[in-house]
Each structure stands twice: as C-alpha cells, then as structure tokens.
Amino acid sequence: MSAIVEADNVRVEFGPLVAVRDISLELLGGQLLGLVGPNGAGKTTLLRVLAGLLAPTRGLARVLGKPVLGEHELVRQHIGFAPDSPPAYEDVTIYQFLRFIAGAYRLDRATADERIDFWLEQLWLTDKRDTPIKNLSRGMRQRVTLARTFIPQPHIILLDEPLIGLDPAGRIQLRKILSMLREQGCAMIVSSHILSDLEEVATHIAIIEQGRILRWGKTESLQHQHEDRRTYRLAAIGMNSELATAVSAMEGTSEVVVDGNICTFDYLAGDEAAAGLLKTLVDRGVPVASFGVVKRTLEEAYLRSGVKQVD
C-alpha cells in the first residue's frame, strides 16, 4: 500500500529562522496523524507545505505520488485544508459560500446541494444556512471552514487547530466525524493543543519541536515510549492492609498506593517483567483478581517527552 501523503526532507526557512527542519513522513489511507507541539514548533508551516500553500526551501511534499507544489489540479482536488483562522467571504450566506466552493471544485449543482445539505447537518449548521457569515460566532465560522474542507470529499485532510472555538458538544461531534472519515480511508493530519481529543481519534502522534519531529509513533506506543518503568494496577480478593506489604516486599516496586483492595505501583516496563512480577505475586499467595498496566494519557506522554515549552 503506497503512501497517500508524504514529506521528503521538507525544510522551510524564513530568513535566519528554520521553521521546519528536514522532516520526512508518510501517511497511508485510514491513518490520522496528530501533530502536537508548542506554539512556533512548525506545525502550521508543515501543514501549509503539505497543502501546497507554501513552497519548502528544500525537499518535496507529495500527494498520491505527485508533487503538491505544481500545476497538478488533480492533486488539489484531493487535498482538504482547514487553516486555524477560518477563511470566508463575510458578506455572503453560508449556502452561497459553500456553493461557491462546490463550484470551484467543479461539482454539478445536484451533487453540490446534496453534499452541502449533508455537511450542514453533520456540523449542525442547517438552521444557519441562509445566515450571512459576518453574523456567525467564532465556533460557527470554524464549522463553516470544516464544511468547506469536507465538501469536495478530499482523500487527504489537513486540519490546523480545528477544535479551537468549538463548544464541548461540537468537539465530540467533530471527533465522530474524524473517526468516520478515517474509517472511510482518508489520510488526515490534525494539529491541536487539545491532546485529550487527539488521543481518541489519532492513530499516530508526532511531537514536533523547533521544526523537527521529536517523537512519533502509534498513539498507544507513544504513550509508553522510552519509559523504563510503568505504572501497574492490581486488585486482590480479600486483602487490604496486607496488600501494600506484599507489593512493597517485591524487589523493584515503588510508589505503592493502596486504596481498599486495589493497589497501584511502579515497576519495570515490558511484558516479560510484568509477567514475572505477576507470577511471583501469585506464587507468594496474593489472590490476584486483576492485573494490568495503567494507561498514560497523551498529555502525560507529551509532558514527559522533554518538549521545551515556549508558551
């Protein structure tokens, strides 16, 4: 399966400032890459290069095997990009604006109307269909931008801070839409500061700092990447005060906390180490009801990654 979107040693310089440092990445259909990092890390610049809006100083971005930066209208047909500040004509209605976008993508009238109706409904904008865009709130405008991005049914969707301005229900709805598009085979890159939202939908995460990818990988593996110790959770039947003593007595355990018959503690990372620990506990007569690794949140993984915060 070939990559739908790829960056090949992309470097972007603005005078002496290097915004993106020789980044390479590939994304297949059905993958959603969450791009996280502090402000000024180069996330937006990278997205703009992949969208073909910015010429890299060096390197190449490709979509469906073709250079993004060129005269290939086919390529542009397949890219959907929603920038962080929503572009829109203020003096036209939502419907007029989306009709213009559909026309620009050469959709016939019936298809355009069908898709506009669908996305207005998905993004809870049906009631506002004939409202001038200048009368909309920030969150509403964000939804119009998302509708503008999705209407051409692009294969590659690049969203820059799409969750900003959306209310909690809107965020949940957008997560559902992103999951739906991912399942339909779209390749997506979403930059966001709201890591809990990304955690739910992203298949991959890239932590970007000072123009380079500091860490990357599948979302679950990244949460525990480069850790020599993990937190485990153990429930035992009929043991309360003795449980803490039993766990603390094991060599290598630390940070032992007992709450009723549930004990959390830190121990060596790795499946073999965990299996060995469990066997020893059972051998010592601890009545184990359940045993597992406590999943770290993406926020914790991000903070542990050593990213220098500039915010």
Partner 1 sequence: MGERFHWPVPMWVVQYQLLGGHRRMGGVLAISTAVLVVGFAGFRRLLLDMPLATVAGGTLKTLAFLQCGGLVLGGCGAVHRAILRDFETRMLESHRLTPMSNIAVALGYLFGSTLQITSLFLLVTVFGVVLSLIASLRVDVWLTGSLLIASGAAALWSASVFVCTRLTKPPSPVGILVGLSILGNVGLVTVPGLGFLLCAYPVVLGCMMIQGVPGPTVPPAAVVGMLVVDAILTMFWLSCAAAKYRRPDLPALGAVRGLTLLTLWLVLGMIGLVAFRAVVGALGRSSGNPVQLDFQWAGTLVLSLVVMLWPIQGAVECYVLARRGTRLRGKADRVPAGVVAMLAAALIVGTSVLFGGDIWAQLPSATLSSAGAVMAWLLTGLAFLSAALFAYGVLLAAVSLLKSPKIAAGMVLALVWVVVPLADAAFAEAMRQYPHAFQLSVLFGMSPVGTLIALWMDVPAPQLGLGVAVQFALALTSVLMGHWALRRAFPGTPGSPSDPPTAPPPR
Binding site for partner 1 (CB under 8 A): 1, 6, 9, 11, 15, 21-28, 31, 33, 51-60, 67, 69-74, 76-77, 79-81, 83, 85, 87-92, 96-97, 100-101, 103-106, 148, 204, 206, 212-213, 216-218
Amino acid at position 43, single letter: K
Shorter beta-carbon distance to partner 1: residue 142 or 253: 142
Q: What is the CA radius of gyration of the chain?
A: 24
Tell the smallest beta-carbon distance from residue 71 to partner 1 (Å): 5
Tell the smallest beta-carbon distance from residue 270 to partner 1 (Å): 19
100 φ, ψ (degrees, to nearest 5): -60, -45
Distance CA 1, CA 264 (A): 42
Shorter beta-carbon distance to partner 1: residue 17 or 172: 17
Please choose, from the candidates 127, 135, 48, the residue with its C-alpha nearest in 3D space to the C-alpha of residue 89.
135
Collect all residues with Cβ–Cβ distance below 8 Å to 161 and sequence separation of at least 6: 84, 191, 192, 193
Inter-residue contact 297 to 196 (CB < 8 Å): yes
Structure tokens at 184: 């339909």
Tell the smallest beta-carbon distance from residue 193 to partner 1 (Å): 20
Inter-residue contact 230 to 269 (CB < 8 Å): yes
Tell the smallest beta-carbon distance from residue 245 to partner 1 (Å): 42
Residue 16 CA: distances (Å) to CA of 12, 13, 19, 66, 175:
10, 7, 9, 30, 38
Shorter beta-carbon distance to partner 1: residue 107 or 246: 107
Shorter beta-carbon distance to partner 1: residue 26 or 227: 26
Collect all residues with Cβ–Cβ distance below 8 Å to 169 and sequence separation of at least 6: none
Amino acid at position 184, single letter: Q
Shorter beta-carbon distance to partner 1: residue 77 or 305: 77
Shorter beta-carbon distance to partner 1: residue 114 or 242: 114
Tell the smallest beta-carbon distance from residue 231 to partner 1 (Å): 25
Distance CA 273, CA 184 (A): 39
Shorter beta-carbon distance to partner 1: residue 104 or 282: 104
Tell the smallest beta-carbon distance from residue 125 to partner 1 (Å): 18
Tell the smallest beta-carbon distance from residue 38 to partner 1 (Å): 17
Structure tokens at 94: 């939502």
